[in-house]
Structure 1
């Protein structure tokens, strides 16, 4: 009896070694992805483990860690190991199969601000609205940024502006100048962060080209 127990234990051990599989996966920060394993038996014990901290580095958006299918939202860049273990009980002897996956989450949260369209001023008084489109790639749905203008006196700026989704329109009310004067300026965004705490990875596309608001003729009144 002792010999049979030893043989069974050895078989389970070599099965565990033989069925441990490692694979590679690459994702973007802020990306959700479904991972599914087909268990041999629905009554077996299923366990997922993922390195890093749940709720900070990653979160589950579907499924549970004791189910065959889970959806993981990758919140922070880094390299993670996902391990799935299926355990089958044989009258007090547990035999397990383990499969593992290395997930590389790229640090690629990025926001780009596009140039604005040049226009005529609305007059010699009041303001002229100039709009800039910001486009987000990867990262969390919600994000914030600061901005400031270069070329306007005084400069127009803002801090911790809230944005949501992949695009945001920044509209600046630029004061018009008397005597039909033109105004040329650019906009720089900075301190761009998503709600997971990731920073913009490419500051090279955070400055617009110059845009000009052309002054309108300062025409006098009709006399009669």
Structure 2
């Protein structure tokens, strides 16, 4: 067993970022299989379409849940195979599962990994959003305002206000806000939040670029 795998086994969330110059897809598949084997746990594959995973012989014989059908059982290992944001809705209810997420588009799932303090298998680092009580408060309020899916004008107004407050503190990070929302919201609702962020971004001063939360 490699040292990197031994370290990965200590974490609930494992992130395999898409990297250049390295076949991270094949590596991610083997890591998922190895993690399930070492934990002696059931392995479920989560894929956008079934064929996205089933054309790999090692995965074809495993239970495959797709974006449109099936549900992921808890208390096992989940190999999230090249998921889209909508696909990760199937992970929201999991409490006691180990998730190995293999990324398709470079950096698309980086914010997800940071929020879950995932172990980056490529770099060996633990991802971290750097959130503290102060920087978590406003994103929590933004998500709370979306209890109706950001369908009411009052929800939109309050959300814009919270976003502007984040901007004033230098803590505005569009990708992190969306990742935070995607922990509990369906993608149809998140897309309404995307439109709100688009509107706010258009009114932001050109000398006030989006900042990243300290990582």
- Give the TM-score, by structure 1 length: 0.23
Question: Of the two, which has the highest radius of gyration?
Answer: 1
Higher helix share: 2
